[in-house]
Amino acid sequence: MTQRVFVANRGEIAVRIVEACDRLGIATVLGVSSADVRSLAASRATRTVVLGGPQSRQSYLSVDAVLHAAVATGCTALHPGYGFLSERSDLARACAENGIVFVGPSPEALDALGDKLSARALAERLGVPVSPGGTASDWAEVAALAERIGYPILVKAAFGGGGRGMKLVTDAAALADAWSVASSEAQAAFGDGTVFLERYVTDAKHIEVQILGDRHGNRIHLGERECSVQYRYQKVVEESPSSSIDERTRSVLTSSALAIAAELDYVGLGTVEFLVNSRTAEIGFLEVNPRLQVEHPVTEQVTGVDLVREQLLACLGEPLTLRQEDVAMTGHAIECRITAQDPARGLAPTPGHVTRWRPPAGGGIRLDSHVYEGYDFPPFYDALMGKLIAWGTDRPAAVKRMAQALDGFRIDGVTTSLALLQRIIADDAFTANTVTTHWLADAILEKEPA
């Protein structure tokens, strides 16, 4: 059967998926909002159809609009990218009912992983290390559970992510209000107000493992990434491999990720996320992201594996061409997320007309982006402009190359995060990789001039 893939996303990841399909000789249909008709992805896709208005709910978040467009254009598969509908089991089921391959795990796996409480229970059953936590049905149980866990504590939404429905609580006096506010935020953002408690790791390293599975029972991991440089639970800089964990910790992380993948009969790409206490090396399972990740390029750079290509082939029924022993990590890669945000105003969005866009060039430099000179960066979506990736033979070489690449990047017309990224890469704590998940907010952003 001749394959035709519907790309249900926008921005740089839509460009990335279209390019991967082009290399496989697969035609693409891109679904866009009315704001993205002149996007770079639209110019690259085989065909483009308009899903609806500029607001995400009118287009990229409409299951009905996306499915109708995919069926009407005769697509045999649908790639959701990341964000938007990528983790929606109802879309995966609707695809199956209409004879369309969903490029992702099964609806059952999406259901199991969409509920963080269920995912925690799955991890515990498999012997995967999990941070102390849980939920309760009434206030007395909540207070008692918090005392058993010990402060500080995170109140977290059971469904969704991105920092919404998440509150840090440092003492018992603040717990009731945090529980109520987090639940209300979760209800508004995700349609379910279920929240739970989990111990907050003050000095945490955020480490994640890339997994890949096919429909024939084959599963591998492709090493780990460190994503400790983040702000309000949003990642800013990522790298692979992590230089802050030892081989014992690495083995626990990768074996735990594969155990979860095996239990779910996982198909496609997924990322199993953990927090590692930088002082005690204690490991705590966070969640599984059952999709392609924003930071996948750093894994591609150190493994030489085209993850999007492998994801497409695996979900289309092809067996993996890689065995675990074929996966080798070479050198070190760092990714910086360049965004249309103002660091001096708490990273407030700064959409507008891009009057100059002059990326750096050179060996070991990669840029994944949908932006071009003259592009009108829209106000309707996330602020990501592009991902700058630098590879080096070791971490110091990658850091140096990234610093040079950031220094050589020229963007005018909109305020961006370039200056902030330059400060991060040049900071002694980043160079020594002593950063933790709260470092960026505490050491850098709070010092930004007003």
Active-site positions read 291
Strand ranges, E, within 108-203:
133-134, 153-157, 167-169, 195-199
Pairing of strands 153-157, 77-79: unpaired
Q: What's the one-letter identity of residue 391?
A: W
Contact between residue 335 and residue 298 where contact means Cβ atoms under 8 Å apart: yes
Q: How many CB atoms lie within 10 A of CB 113?
A: 24
Write the DSSP string, 44-76. Answer: HSSEEEEEE-SSGGGTTT-HHHHHHHHHHTT-S
Rounded alpha-carbon distances, angstroms, from residue 232 to 194, 225, 431, 440 = 20, 19, 22, 10
Q: In this structure, are residues 318 and 214 in contact, taking their beta carbons and an 8 Å threshold?
A: yes
Q: What are phi and psi of 182, to 5 degrees?
A: -60, -40
Q: Where are the beta strands (DSSP E) in 103-152?
A: 133-134
Here the tokens at position 261 are: 């993948």
Closest C-alpha to 337, from 403, 389, 391: 389
Residue from 142, 194, 195, 192 nearest 172 by CA: 142
Q: How far apart are CA 240 and CA 226, in angstroms?
A: 6
Report residue 245 as tokens. 């964990």
Task: Answer yes or no: are the C-beta atoms of 359 and 367 closer than 8 Å.
Answer: yes
Specify the 3-state DSSP secondary structure of 182. helix
User: Measured in whole angstroms, how far is the alpha carbon of residue 396 from the centre of its chain?
Assistant: 25
Q: How far apart are CA 392 and CA 240, in angstroms?
A: 11
**Tokens 């924003």, residue?**
294
Read off the tokens for 237.
């800089």
